[in-house]
Structure 1
Amino acid sequence: MAKIAVLGAGIMATALSFPSSENGNDVHLIGTFLDREIIDSIQKTGVHPDLGLKVNDGVTAHQLEEAAEVVHGADVVMCGVNSFGIEWAGEQLANLLEPGQKLLTITKGMRADDDGTLKLLPNVIKSYLDPELAEQISWNAITGPSIAGELAVHHDTCVVFCGHDQDDLDFIANLFRTDYYHVWTSLDFDGYETGAATKNVYAFAAGFADGMLRKAGKENDRYVMYNYSAAVFAQGQRELTSFIKLMGGNPDTATGLGGVGDMYVTSAGGRNVKAGGFVGEGVPFSEVRDRLMKGVTLEGVAAINVIGAALKPLTERGVIGPEEYPLCRFLYSVVAEDAPLEMPWDKFFGGLK
């Protein structure tokens, strides 16, 4: 039995408590300052209010003030905050982590320097730690197609745990593997984390076609826009593969769970797809952000803002060519400049030839 301490009590962090606790592990959910009502609910009723499910026996909920006590002596520490809180999480973990612990992140996204240099979020967390401590921590992450609610109710879910040490990965994976939670492992940490971050970019575009049909009053027509969506998906997958190579990962990673698989499930629905649907209806993104979906966390749009903005300085430095990433560049113009939905088809797939 292992002790697993989880910083963050959101739906995915809590969903992961199901397979880990069912394997007999001692699982502790630590709420952030935003999770107080969630922790209160679990402590009083056992129910996670957003999942609508009772957590398993063997899962204990704690408010943030108990974090140091809970993390002390843990075998595995999970970072379960969303990408908007990664700097806060870095500050917390810098004071909580102990030498020899294995960190397992589920937070996906990137940050960028002014020169366009892209950084994976686990490396952002690492930058907050004392360098000596950082070297004594095992850095690992969960990637792949995983909808929290489906995992929590035991629907078959296939993921990849990636890291830098195979023995550590084997240890962590065995804490979570069940007959419904199927875990593969990979040492292509940069490739899998890049795929997990960039697939969010293209989920936003997955909503365009449905919105365009609604705008035209054709949402119930026999003929819909699968052709449109398939071409956007294919170009997105092409760019995701290129991002993986840019970040030093194995391009083959893009063909499996950490690439096309994750991109498929993220494009199937959710908040980012809904936001893209409004844009497809002709609503400027600034209105979607400020009125229609005000206060809603849009991780895909956040990824577009970071990665899309980085493309210009990367191009100016000659790191990438001006013809690369036409869909990501276009999506950035939509969310940052309210550009109209005029898809640059002729630039896709290497340009018309």
Structure 2
Amino acid sequence: MKKNIEVSVIGAGMWGSTLAALLAKKGYSVRAWEYNRVMAAHLRDNRTHSALPGFKLPAGVEVFTELEKAVVSPDLILMAVDSRHVRALARAINPLLEGKKVPHIVAVSKGIEAGSFLTVCEIMEEEIPRARRRTMIMTGPSFAVELAAGAPTKAVLAGLDPVEVQKTRKLMEGGPLKLEPCEDRLGAELGGSLKNVYAVGSGIIDGLSKAAKNSEAAFLIESASELRRIIKSLGGKNRTAWGLSGMGDLLLTATSAKSRNFRFGKEIGQGLAPAEALKRIKTVVEGFEALKTARGLCARHGVKTPVIDCIWRIVYKGNKPSSILRAAGFGTK
């Protein structure tokens, strides 16, 4: 593998920093962009990340707050920001790529855009037209904090062009990270976004039942069945729903206190109002916004989603947290 590879990482949060470090260890030149000037300065000066214990950013990673300094002549772009900011950043990146070869583009961000109901990859292709069929999603059962600590991690790299996927997999894979190629990009993106919604519901169950796993398991089965139905109804594949980016990601995110979405739901299950629960978590709870877009997307396609509807009514309409038991197949209490 050639070592004179340039990588642009957009967003130096937990995922951006973790992947920047892994790719720098492969000998690549990594240029990271971070909006938060305080965080960027900390990464530059201390080479550590407050949310990643024991993490050290390699010397091969440069950190900038100016986008044009991070996107110079990349072979690979990693989009690792909150999905709500993807469109604006992709729009700003597009002119920076004019007259240059089109890089491989991989989204680590997961989400569905309000209004358009486009996935992250679809948004980037809309804003960077030359990147059509070269835009991929990395998703699956993975916590950045564990990968950063060296835990063997298997995720999915999904794209429309299998040749592009294989080339990009070879660029990214290494160390503790193993990537499984997938051609069902839409199914993989839906799994990566919707699992955050179900994780909120699973957290509510956990809070209600004081961590009783019996009811949580019943809820996860109902959630997995609904997730599969959504993916298939929108054109994804059954295998994707039951694979790493569907069931695998759901099992991880909806059962662990490392998941912000799970912790958010647990706070609600223990009696906290959703607004107060959000304050407790402090960082972005993807499932909170994803609830609205997931519900709208499914309504547009005529897909019935009793589990998502139940979680939405608890979070946005003030229904009792105990009503989640109906979605798990139990009567309400």
TM-score (normalised: structure 1): 0.84
Structure 2 residue 225 is matched with structure 1 residue 243:
no
CA shift, 1:297, in A, is: 1.3
Change (3 A) 1:296 1:71: closer
Give me the whole-angstrom Cα distance separating, in 2, the residues matched to 1:333 and 1:297: 20
Measured against aligned partners, the alpha-carbon deviations of 1:109-166 in whole angstroms (never above 9, x if no partner) come to: 10243xxx6321221232233x4x344x711110111111111121110011111222
Change (3 A) 1:179 1:91: closer
**What secondary structure, in the 3-state scheme, does the structure 1 residue paired with 2:113 have?**
strand
**Alignment-mate amino acid for residue 250 of structure 2:** M
Q: Is the 8 A contact 1:4 1:75 kept in 2?
A: yes
Structure 2 residue 50 is matched with structure 1 residue 61:
no
1:1-353 correspondence to structure 2 within 5 Å = 1=3, 2-32=5-35, 34=36, 36-52=37-53, 53-63=55-65, 65=66, 67-97=67-97, 98-113=100-115, 118-129=117-128, 131=129, 133-135=130-132, 138-213=134-209, 219=210, 225-267=212-254, 268-269=256-257, 270-289=259-278, 292-293=280-281, 295-311=282-298, 313-314=299-300, 319-320=301-302, 324-343=304-323
Deviates more, 1:150-159 or 1:171-180: 171-180
CA shift, 1:99, in A, is: 4.4
**What secondary structure, in the 3-state scheme, does the structure 2 residue paired with 1:155 have?**
coil
**What secondary structure, in the 3-state scheme, does the structure 1 residue paired with 2:323 have?**
coil
**Alignment-mate amino acid for residue 15 of structure 2:** M
Identity of aligned residues (%): 24
Give me the whole-angstrom Cα distance separating, in 2, the residues matched to 1:164 and 1:236: 27
CA shift, 1:100, in A, is: 2.0
Q: Where do 4+ consecutive residues of structure 1 move more than 3 Å?
A: 342-349
Give me the whole-angstrom Cα distance separating, in 2, the residues matched to 1:342 and 1:348: 11
CA shift, 1:25, in A, is: 1.5
Give me the whole-angstrom Cα distance separating, in 2, the residues matched to 1:345 and 1:143: 29
Give me the whole-angstrom Cα distance separating, in 2, the residues matched to 1:73 and 1:302: 34
Root-mean-square deviation (Å):
2.3
TM-score (normalised: structure 2): 0.89
Change (3 A) 1:70 1:345: closer
CA shift, 1:227, in A, is: 1.4
CA shift, 1:346, in A, is: 5.9
Q: Is the 8 A contact 2:204 2:324 kept in 1?
A: no
Give me the whole-angstrom Cα distance separating, in 2, the residues matched to 1:279 and 1:72: 45
Measured against aligned partners, the alpha-carbon deviations of 1:198-223 in whole angstroms (never above 9, x if no partner) come to: 1111010121233224xxxxx4xxxx
Stretches of structure 1 that go unaligned for 5 or more consecutive residues are 214-218
CA shift, 1:62, in A, is: 1.7
Q: Is the 8 A contact 2:192 2:245 kept in 1?
A: yes
Change (3 A) 1:262 1:347: closer
Measured against aligned partners, the alpha-carbon deviations of 1:251-300 in whole angstroms (never above 9, x if no partner) come to: 211111111111111121222111111211233324434x545x531101
Deviates more, 1:20-29 or 1:117-126: 117-126
Give me the whole-angstrom Cα distance separating, in 1, the residues matched to 2:145 and 2:261: 17
**What secondary structure, in the 3-state scheme, does the structure 2 residue paired with 1:111 have?**
coil
Aligned length: 322
Give me the whole-angstrom Cα distance separating, in 2, the residues matched to 1:160 and 1:238: 20
Change (3 A) 1:344 1:9: closer
Give me the whole-angstrom Cα distance separating, in 1, the residues matched to 2:62 and 2:22: 15
Give me the whole-angstrom Cα distance separating, in 2, the residues matched to 1:9 and 1:69: 14
Give me the whole-angstrom Cα distance separating, in 2, the residues matched to 1:152 and 1:70: 22
Q: Is the 8 A contact 1:330 1:343 kept in 2?
A: yes
Stretches of structure 2 that go unaligned for 5 or more consecutive residues are none
Q: Is the 8 A contact 1:25 1:175 kept in 2?
A: no
**What secondary structure, in the 3-state scheme, does the structure 1 residue paired with 2:235 have?**
coil
**Alignment-mate amino acid for residue 94 of structure 2:** A
CA shift, 1:38, in A, is: 2.0
Give me the whole-angstrom Cα distance separating, in 1, the residues matched to 2:224 and 2:70: 40
